[in-house]
């Protein structure tokens, strides 16, 4: 069943901010920034520090950076926008921390976050945009006054908790970890045994940076076997992910979850249910899925992602509307 879309003020905001951003770039910058919507680059995504296609913040002047961040903000709530800026700012923590530890790695630079536009925001066709860098990878597809897709949506943090220095105590993504631990520790022995799929947390999110999610049928503890308090915690945790996008988009996602049956969501766990110990969880039901992993760097390094199994990169909507594109 295809994803439904509705009229969104958010689509207008994205179109306006993307148009403003593209209009302020010179020819060389445009060549780095703008791709055809059909280009295979659109469906490639990754979250480690690396050189990327698109234009990085370091190549933008002050006014252009402001317009780039306005585009980023158009797809986020105030809370998730501040989280994104917090993730970027963690590069200024991680660099000195790794130097102190004698770790040789990719350069940690808050200016290595890239913006890419696919298609023409001022045209009649479908277009999209991506903002990506270390621990941020967000993707939106838009057509006219409709936002067709909001996923994949990846946020991560390293360190998950800053443990020294002037920013000590900072936990940019605390909610998605704390609620999950509370939920897991509320389960009785029978529930816990059903939910626990892995004795140890996997090394990373299992779907990694796949263009299309491939997972077995729902595994773990179904919401239907939770008590009301546990269901409320699960609902809060789902909200951490769904409510990262503006309220009108989130409302549509919630309506779809409810229509497909919230009780059909499955809660899966790996590792001990203890802060400071490596742990993993997955919420999966129908086309909705989120994954969270905190195993690396002594369980102080979070990867988390929200996926729409059928409609990442607007693939389901594109199929339904018979928009053919070729991915190299």
Asked whether the predicted pLDDT for residue 146 surpasses 80, the reply is yes
What is the per-residue pLDDT for 191? 98
Ramachandran region, residue 145 (left: φ > 0; alpha: ψ -120 to 50; beta: rest):
alpha
Residue 199 lies in a domain: yes
Cis, bond preceding 159 (omega within 30 deg of 0): yes
Residue 2 pLDDT level (bands cut at 50, 70, 90): very low
Residue 275's CB is within 10 A of a number of other CB atoms, namely: 12
- pLDDT tens digits along 266-285: 999 999 999 999 999 999 99
Looking at 151, 185, 210, the residue that finishes a domain is: 151
pLDDT at 3: 46
Q: Is residue 320 part of a domain?
A: no
Residues 147 and 178 in one domain: no
Residue 163 lies in a domain: no
Alpha carbons 102 and 87: distance in angstroms, whole number: 22
DSSP 244-295: TS-HHHHHHHHHHHHHH-GGG-EEEEES-SSTTS-EEEEEEETTEEEEEEE-
* pLDDT score at 326: 43
315 located within any domain: no
Q: Are 237 and 306 found together in one domain?
A: yes
Q: Are residues 212 and 111 in the same domain?
A: no
How far apart, in whole angstroms, are the C-alpha atoms of residue 306 and residue 123?
Answer: 29
* pLDDT tens-digit map of 55-94: 999 999 999 999 999 999 999 999 999 999 999 999 999 9
Same domain, 16 and 146: yes
My answer on whether 237 and 131 are in the same domain is no
Domain that holds residue 111: 9-151
| 97 falls within a domain | yes
Q: Indicate whether 98 and 220 sit together in one domain.
A: no
Examine the domain organization and report whether 181 and 138 are in the same domain.
no
Which position has the higher pLDDT, 217 or 198? 198
pTM for the predicted model, two decimal places: 0.95
Q: Cα–Cα distance between 299 and 279 in angstroms, integer?
A: 8
Classify residue 328: in a domain, yes or no.
Answer: no
Q: Confirm whether 226 is domain-assigned.
A: yes
Cβ-proximal residues to 201 (8 Å cutoff; 6+ apart), any chain = 270, 271, 278, 279, 280, 293, 294, 295, 299
Torsion of CA 156, 159, 160, 162, to 10 degrees: -140
pLDDT in tens, 156-195: 999 999 999 999 999 999 999 999 999 999 999 999 999 9
- pLDDT class of 242 with cuts at 50, 70, 90: very high
CB atoms within 10 A of CB 257: 19
At residue 318, the pLDDT reads: 73
Summarize pLDDT for 251-266 with one digit per residue, the tens. Answer: 999 999 999 999 999 9
* Token pair in block for residue 68: 């780039």
Residue 159 resides in a domain: no
- What's phi and psi for 292, nearest 5 deg? -145, 135
Number of domains in the chain: 2
């Amino acid at each position: 069943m295809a994803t439904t879309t509705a009229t969104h003020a958010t689509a207008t905001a994205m179109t306006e901010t993307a148009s403003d951003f593209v209009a302020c770039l010179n020819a060389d910058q445009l060549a780095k920034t703008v791709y055809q919507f059909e280009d295979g680059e659109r469906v490639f995504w990754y979250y480690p520090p690396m050189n990327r296609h698109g234009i990085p913040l370091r190549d933008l002047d002050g006014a252009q950076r402001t317009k780039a961040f306005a585009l980023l903000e158009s797809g986020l709530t105030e809370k998730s926008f501040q989280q994104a800026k917090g993730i970027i700012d963690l590069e200024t923590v991680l660099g000195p921390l790794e130097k102190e530890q004698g770790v040789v790695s990719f350069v940690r630079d808050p200016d290595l976050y890239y913006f890419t536009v696919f298609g023409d925001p001022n045209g009649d066709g479908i277009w999209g945009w991506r903002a990506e860098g270390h621990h941020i990878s967000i993707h939106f597809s838009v057509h006219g006054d409709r936002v067709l897709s909001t996923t994949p949506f990846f946020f991560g943090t390293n360190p998950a908790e800053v443990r020294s220095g002037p920013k000590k105590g900072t936990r940019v993504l605390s909610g998605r970890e704390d609620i999950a631990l509370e939920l897991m520790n509320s389960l009785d022995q029978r529930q816990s045994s059903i939910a626990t799929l892995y004795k140890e947390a996997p090394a990373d999110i299992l779907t990694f940076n796949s263009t299309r999610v491939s997972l077995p049928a729902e595994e773990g503890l179904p919401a239907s076997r939770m008590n009301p308090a546990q269901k409320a915690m699960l609902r809060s945790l789902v909200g951490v992910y769904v409510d990262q996008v503006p309220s009108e988009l989130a409302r549509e996602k919630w309506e779809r979850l409810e229509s497909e049956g919230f009780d059909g969501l499955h809660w899966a766990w790996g590792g001990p249910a203890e802060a400071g110990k490596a742990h993993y969880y997955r919420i999966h039901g129908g086309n909705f899925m989120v994954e969270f992993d905190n195993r690396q760097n002594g369980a102080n390094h979070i990867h988390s992602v929200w996926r729409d199994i059928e409609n990442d990169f607007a693939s389901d909507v594109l199929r339904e509307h018979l928009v053919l594109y070729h991915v190299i």
